[in-house]
């Protein structure tokens, strides 16, 4: 990577601040991890900030192409890592780690072995700090290795780092390198580096989890996905009074995203003679009920459905979202009590209304900011759809986007 030096004076020129945006779990498959990295990179770049993005060393070309100028595939992870075709030794090391996790190994051994996966990131950080950069670290999604990296980086270079912004979602407690007492560790790091660490929560419900676990409230920030001003023609978003109604069930399908509830919504629309086209994103991996539900949809609503393959690019997914009249997120409560939805934020970027079941974590955003509506069941969905005031919703989404922008400026220390 080319850093910004004056070769004649041997000094860093005036603009010597850099933001490192990283995610150990951003590997060879397109997931929300790369989407989150991209949105934060775009947001910081729009603010005139110099950025570098760190992804997993096994990241595929599709991920690397998201960041054509400033990506470094240096992070190692036992989960998002090598296949036997990439490297036999590295593959078997990862396989062994995962096998040991299933068998059960003591935490102190996990901590010792984690350095194998952290050393490349720590070495790269040391190299950047040695070039006298004012370094800010951003983790849009923090997993166990990510938290262990932050802890190690602070122990080694805490006095040299300018700031650390961490979006906490509970992911850091999972897998072999998960930190079971993650919030306790983060709290202890904040006590030592109070002015450097900012902890972000995507959904309001998680703020209570953080403060309950004695995370200093002054270090907690609402950190929804940043607002990205995505250019598009307003005419793409048709009025709900025009038909067919374009409904988006977007984001790769999974059981916990309520794929099995889609037929109920489409059935009630058909029964009430509402003309629609449903855009349904297919899953990467199928499950037991999937085949039955897909066959039912094809048999009963085949002429009104467009299925989207799971492997569509981020740009194509965003394009489909922009053309919808309504995004529907029938996610299951048991899985989304504390989890957010990246699709909700992209929809709001394009001023597309959103609907979801009541009582989900991100339902707070929908109801508080009037981004669309929540529903109890398919009948409630129909009634609220028919009474949706689009002009009011568009104005509300604009206000929400402004709040998201301000919130992330605070979370990243830009204001």
Query: pLDDT for 196-213, tens place per residue?
Result: 999 999 988 888 888 888
| Rounded average pLDDT over 322-337 | 91
Topology of 5-222 in CATH? Rossmann fold (3.40.50)
pLDDT band at 8 (very low <50, low <70, confident <90, very high): very low
Judge: domain 234-402, CATH 3.40.30.10: no
Q: Is the pLDDT of residue 195 over 90?
A: yes
* Stronger pLDDT, 112 or 214, i.e. the higher one: 214
Q: Is the pLDDT of residue 82 over 70?
A: no
pTM: 0.87
* Stronger pLDDT, 253 or 222, i.e. the higher one: 222
pLDDT for 5: 32
Same fold, 5-222 and 234-402: yes
Neighbours of 121 (CB within 10 A): 24
DSSP 8-state assignment for residue 325:
S
Residue ranges of the domains in the chain? Answer: 5-222, 234-402
The string of pLDDT tens digits covering residues 10-40 is 333 336 999 999 998 887 655 678 889 999 9
Average pLDDT, the chain: 86
Q: Lowest-confidence range among 87-91, 135-139, 211-215, 373-377?
A: 87-91
pLDDT for 235: 36
pLDDT for 240: 54
Contacts 24+ apart (CB under 8 A), 33-38: 33/140, 33/141, 34/63, 34/66, 34/314, 35/314, 35/342, 36/140, 36/141, 36/167, 36/225, 36/342, 37/66, 37/67, 37/140, 38/66, 38/67, 38/314
């Amino acid at each position: 990577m080319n850093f910004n030096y004056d070769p004649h004076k041997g000094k860093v020129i005036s603009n010597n601040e850099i933001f490192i945006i990283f995610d150990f779990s951003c590997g060879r498959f397109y997931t929300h991890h790369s989407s989150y990295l991209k949105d934060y990179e775009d947001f910081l770049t729009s603010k005139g900030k110099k950025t570098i993005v760190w992804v997993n060393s096994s990241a595929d070309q599709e991920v690397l192409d998201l960041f054509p100028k400033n990506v470094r595939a240096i992070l190692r992870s036992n989960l998002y890592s090598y296949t036997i075709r990439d490297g036999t030794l590295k593959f078997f090391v990862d396989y062994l780690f995962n096998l040991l996790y299933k068998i059960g190994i003591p935490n102190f051994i996990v901590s010792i072995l984690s350095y194998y996966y952290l050393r490349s990131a720590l070495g790269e950080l040391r190299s950047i700090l040695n070039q006298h950069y004012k370094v800010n670290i951003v983790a849009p999604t923090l997993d166990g290795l990510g938290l262990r990296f932050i802890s190690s980086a602070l122990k080694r270079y805490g006095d040299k780092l300018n700031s650390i912004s961490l979006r906490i979602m509970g992911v850091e407690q999972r897998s072999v390198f998960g930190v079971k007492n993650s919030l306790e560790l983060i709290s202890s790091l904040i006590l030592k580096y109070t002015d450097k660490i900012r902890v972000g929560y995507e959904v309001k419900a998680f703020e209570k989890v953080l403060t309950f676990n004695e995370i200093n409230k002054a270090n907690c920030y609402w950190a929804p996905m940043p607002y990205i001003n995505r250019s598009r023609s307003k005419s793409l978003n048709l009025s709900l009074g025009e038909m067919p109604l374009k409904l988006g069930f977007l984001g790769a399908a999974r059981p916990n995203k309520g794929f099995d509830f889609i037929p109920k919504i489409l059935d009630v629309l058909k029964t009430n003679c509402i003309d629609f086209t449903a855009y349904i994103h297919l899953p990467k991996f199928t499950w037991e009920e999937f085949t039955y539900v897909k066959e039912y949809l094809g048999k009963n609503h085949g002429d009104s459905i467009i299925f989207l393959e799971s492997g569509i690019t981020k740009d194509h997914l965003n394009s489909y979202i922009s053309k919808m009249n309504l995004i529907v997120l029938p996610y299951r409560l048991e899985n989304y009590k504390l989890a957010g939805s990246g699709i909700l934020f992209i929809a709001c970027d394009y001023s597309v209304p959103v609907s979801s079941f009541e009582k989900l974590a991100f339902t707070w955003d929908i109801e508080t900011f009037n981004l669309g509506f929540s529903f109890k069941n398919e009948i409630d969905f129909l009634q609220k759809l028919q009474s949706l005031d689009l002009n009011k919703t568009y104005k509300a989404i604009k206000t929400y986007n402004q709040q998201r922008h301000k919130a992330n400026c605070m979370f990243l220390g830009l204001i």
